[in-house]
Amino acid sequence: MPPINDPAKDLLLNIRLNAGTCAAVGGVKKYLNERGHLILDALDEVAYYYESTPAAISLAWLMAQPAVVAPIASATSTQQLNELVNAAHLQLDQDTINLLNKASEY
């Protein structure tokens, strides 16, 4: 899979590679377990397929959940805002939703 130019993905990759020493890990470290890595891998795969970013796919996946009425997201840059807008236009197919749901099962 070719790399996707995504600052959020770069941060996650840095955290994944340096989980024991990275100062940015903070409260995120507890999620970097087997399940967390399965979710990140699935998000990478889906983002590549949809030519999008893991952040946009994450939000589109959340919006596809029937129990979610209004997902809350924020942006601190124009790039992040564009990702939020793009996520609102993504229509994930059922196979993709199933893949992400399976990756996130407990």
Q: Residue 1: what pLDDT?
A: 39
Q: Please state, in angstroms and as integers, the Cα–Cα distance from residue 50 to each residue in 7, 23, 46, 72, 87, following that order.
A: 17, 32, 6, 22, 11
Q: Residue 55, class by beta-carbon neighbours within 10 Å (0-12 exposed, 13-18 middle, 19+ buried)? A: buried
Each domain of the chain, given as residue ranges in start order, spans 7-103
pLDDT given at position 72 = 85
Tell me, what DSSP letter sits at residue 18? T
pLDDT computed for residue 106 by the predictor: 86
Higher pLDDT, 90 or 10: 90
What are the structure tokens assigned to 19, written together? 């989980």
Q: 17-61, pLDDT tens digit by residue?
A: 555 555 555 667 777 788 888 999 999 999 999 999 888 999 999
Give tens-digit pLDDT for 52-102.
988 899 999 999 998 888 888 888 889 889 888 989 899 999 999 999 999
CA–CA distances in Å: residue 27 to residues 22, 24, 35, 79? 11, 9, 16, 24
